[in-house]
Chains A and B, each alone.
Chain A
Amino acid sequence: MNTERARLVPQSRSGAAPGAVRRLLDESPTGTIEILQPPLDTLPYRGFIAALLDRQGFKLDFNRLSPHEALALVSDKLLNPGAFVAERAALATDITALAELAGKLAGGRPAVSIRTCFAPGDLVWHVDRVSDRTAFRLLWPIGRPAGMRVTPAGNVDAALHRAYMRREHPLLCRLDTRVLRTGAAVEALWAHRPAQLAAMISGEFPFLRDRAQEFEITPGALSIHRVETPQQSGAWHRSSWDNRAAPGLQIVITAGAE
């Protein structure tokens, strides 16, 4: 592994204590760490995952449902009732463990969601934001070709990014909603905005200072990044156009503490 990349995106081992993971996160120049995961075809719930990947375009916030209840709901609704009972229980157990880790990192309650939809807004560099005091987001995308890309905060011209997003942010949110609701192609929905579409495809944004300073999370790995709050800065990240046709099953866990 490239030394510079290893410094900017430190790796933690699976099963590491929350305190150790938190220390690594606090020291990470990008506010992001990664934890390698076994390949999809070795996971005990690969059949269930593959079946969910065939149902591209859904999103579910667990809210008050436990991972076991939420996955049962998804499975019964999207697949056959009672299908993959053992596999979905195994996945729910793993999600429960990850949610516990995220909760301990932030010292607060985790919120879990899963999705198989493509959100084009994620292609533009951004930080996630919440109003808590401390917050982290854990992302485990399974079965997609490219990893999330991260960059140090100093590589983003903040004033230029602010100007860019003042205009683009609401338009990107609306684009996400339209893609989720209709499944329409981004290229068709933004045919009247070729310059902005080209930026999302190429990754060439006017506010990014040095493209050599963007780094990809290992595809299939789990990552944890800092979320912007009034007390802490967030990690700059974006998704990759390569995931457009195969966004994978994304397990997203956000934990924050007031």
Chain B
Amino acid sequence: MTPLRRLGRNGPVVSPCTIGTTPLAAPGIDRREAGAMLALALERGINAIELDAAHGRVADLLGQTIARSDMRQRIEVLARVTPRVRFDLPSPHIPAQQAYPGRHIRAETEALLRTLGIEQLGVQQIHAWCREWLHEGDWLETLGRLREEGKIAGIGISLWDHDVEAALDAVAGGAINSVQLMYNLFDPEGATVLLPLCQQTGTGVIARAPFYFGTLASKQVRSFPPHDWRAAYFFDAHRRETFERVQRLARGVDPAAGSLATVALRFCLSHPAVTTVAVGTRTRAQLEANLDAIARGPLTPDEAQALTRHAWLC
């Protein structure tokens, strides 16, 4: 396993691969397999788990897994606070205090610690971040206090997909430890300004959606079951275009660099600003494949550069 890295100044020390648990919240998930996957991940040296605080059943499963392991002191849960308002889009017109009141952040953080049976979260993140929120509300003050109390190690923001510019002020101001963004072969926009700024300011980076919601992990046109949120997201035209682009990309991948999925994951870790990649994982087989890809290390700068011509979600 690749050595652990620090997630921003004074942040937690995390593995380069983070288990993204959003897929485990889907209806019909095989909880036994999911539990086995989480246990194997901890056994294989992964100490970072990304968790949406709204996913109570996943938190329960993770808490049980942690209790059965000897990782209680070393696990780093990268949590996301549940907003009080449902967001369909980035919503700068919603005041931060309405979306993320401090009292709610504290209550949810403390409840999550109890569910997980741990004393500290690795990071607590504000999702669907809008730059207007930086100087609004009491979210930052609350997270600062939780950090002082040792209940969280770091403060993070999590960006809406493709909305990298929203983070620039927060990262430049140095108030946060980490930023989470979509970063993959189709949307490498973060590398333009945000990731270099994170390097300058010592801000940790959690790259998510390395497979663009699974599409970069398969060369086949796939459909999603009706209960899977991706069935709506990949409406016909979007699905068609995505898979045409996947196939074009697959044709250009050097087999020596690995499968398309391997290359997609290695691409994310190729930028030196990226601390960890959050990979949505359901099964042990997926976990093993991801670990094998990460063990191959980053792509060379030339390999990574050549792939940027496939960007289209930016």
- Chain A at the B interface: mostly helix, strand, loop or mixed? helix
A163 touches B235 (CB 8 A): yes
A166 at the interface (CB under 8 A from B): yes
Those 10 A-B pairs whose CB atoms lie nearest each other, nearest first: A170-B163, A170-B162, A169-B89, A131-B93, A163-B233, A206-B237, A130-B93, A163-B232, A192-B312, A162-B88
Give chain A interface residues in 191-216, CB to chain B under 8 Å.
192-193, 195, 206
B175 at the interface (CB under 8 A from A): no
Question: B161, B235, B311: which contacts A164 (Cβ < 8 A)?
Answer: B235
* A159-B232 contact, Cβ under 8 Å, with A166-B161, A171-B162, A174-B165: yes
Question: A169, A170, A193, A206: which contacts B236 (Cβ < 8 A)?
Answer: A206
Residue of B nearest to A130 (CB): B93
A131 touches B94 (CB 8 A): yes
Q: How many residues in B have their beta carbons less than 8 Å from beta carbons of A?
A: 26
Give chain B interface residues in 216-264, CB to chain A under 8 Å.
232-238, 241
B94 touches A195 (CB 8 A): no
* Residue picked from B93, B98, B165, most chain A C-beta under 10 Å: B93
Question: Closest CB-CB distance, A26 to chain B, in whole Å?
Answer: 22
- What residues of chain A lie closer than 8 Å to B88, measured between beta carbons? 162, 165-166
- What residues of chain B lie closer than 8 Å to A130, measured between beta carbons? 93
Q: Kindly supply a per-residue 1/0 record for chain A positions 156-178, scoring 1 wherever the CB is within 8 Å of any chain B CB and 0 otherwise.
A: 00011011111101110110010
Question: B98, B241, B314: which contacts A195 (Cβ < 8 A)?
Answer: B241
Question: B93, B161, B233: which contacts A170 (Cβ < 8 A)?
Answer: B161
A170 touches B232 (CB 8 A): no
Report how far A169 CA is from B166 CA in the complex, Å.
Answer: 13
Question: Closest CB-CB distance, B123 to chain A, in whole Å?
Answer: 23
Question: B91, B161, B241: which contacts A129 (Cβ < 8 A)?
Answer: B91
B1 at the interface (CB under 8 A from A): no
Report how far A170 CA is from B181 CA in the complex, Å.
Answer: 13
- What residues of chain A lie closer than 8 Å to B89, measured between beta carbons? 165-166, 169
B314 touches A171 (CB 8 A): yes
Q: Kindly supply a per-residue 1/0 record for chain A positions 116-135, scoring 1 wherever the CB is within 8 Å of any chain B CB and 0 otherwise.
A: 00000000000001110000
B298 at the interface (CB under 8 A from A): no
* A167-B93 contact, Cβ under 8 Å, with A162-B88, A192-B311: no
Question: Closest CB-CB distance, A121 to chain B, in whole Å?
Answer: 12
Give chain B interface residues in 189-218, CB to chain A under 8 Å.
none
B289 at the interface (CB under 8 A from A): no
A: residues with CB less than 8 A from B are: 129-131, 159-160, 162-167, 169-171, 173-174, 177, 192-193, 195, 206
A206 touches B95 (CB 8 A): no
Give chain B interface residues in 281-314, CB to chain A under 8 Å.
311-314
27 contacts between A and B (CB under 8 A): A129-B91, A130-B93, A131-B95, A131-B98, A160-B235, A162-B88, A163-B234, A163-B235, A163-B238, A164-B235, A164-B238, A165-B89, A167-B233, A167-B238, A170-B90, A170-B160, A170-B162, A170-B166, A171-B313, A171-B314, A173-B163, A174-B165, A177-B165, A192-B312, A195-B241, A206-B235, A206-B237
Report how far A129 CA is from B165 CA in the complex, Å.
Answer: 20
Residue of A nearest to B232 (CB): A163
- What residues of chain B lie closer than 8 Å to A131, measured between beta carbons? 93-95, 98
Question: Closest CB-CB distance, A179 to chain B, in whole Å?
Answer: 14
A195 touches B237 (CB 8 A): yes
- What residues of chain A lie closer than 8 Å to B98, measured between beta carbons? 131
- What residues of chain A lie closer than 8 Å to B233, measured between beta carbons? 163, 166-167
Report how far A165 CA is from B90 CA in the complex, Å.
Answer: 10
Report how far A167 CA is from B233 CA in the complex, Å.
Answer: 9
Report how far A149 CA is from B285 CA in the complex, Å.
Answer: 51
Report how far A130 CA is from B160 CA in the complex, Å.
Answer: 19
- What residues of chain A lie closer than 8 Å to B232, measured between beta carbons? 159-160, 162-163
Report how far A192 CA is from B214 CA in the complex, Å.
Answer: 22
Give chain B interface residues in 82-97, CB to chain A under 8 Å.
88-91, 93-95
- What residues of chain B lie closer than 8 Å to A129, measured between beta carbons? 91, 93
Question: Closest CB-CB distance, B127 to chain A, in whole Å?
Answer: 14
- What residues of chain B lie closer than 8 Å to A169, measured between beta carbons? 89-90
Report how far A165 CA is from B311 CA in the complex, Å.
Answer: 18
Question: B95, B162, B166, B236: which contacts A167 (Cβ < 8 A)?
Answer: B162
Report how far A163 CA is from B234 CA in the complex, Å.
Answer: 8
Give chain B interface residues in 62-107, CB to chain A under 8 Å.
88-91, 93-95, 98
Question: Closest CB-CB distance, A212 to chain B, in whole Å?
Answer: 21
Report how far A195 CA is from B313 CA in the complex, Å.
Answer: 12
Report how far A173 CA is from B160 CA in the complex, Å.
Answer: 13
Residue of B nearest to A227 (CB): B93
- What residues of chain B lie closer than 8 Å to A166, measured between beta carbons? 88-89, 161, 233
Question: B91, B163, B235, B312: which contacts A193 (Cβ < 8 A)?
Answer: B312
- What residues of chain B lie closer than 8 Å to A174, measured between beta carbons? 162, 165
Give chain B interface residues in 126-176, CB to chain A under 8 Å.
160-163, 165-166
Report how far A149 CA is from B94 CA in the complex, Å.
Answer: 27
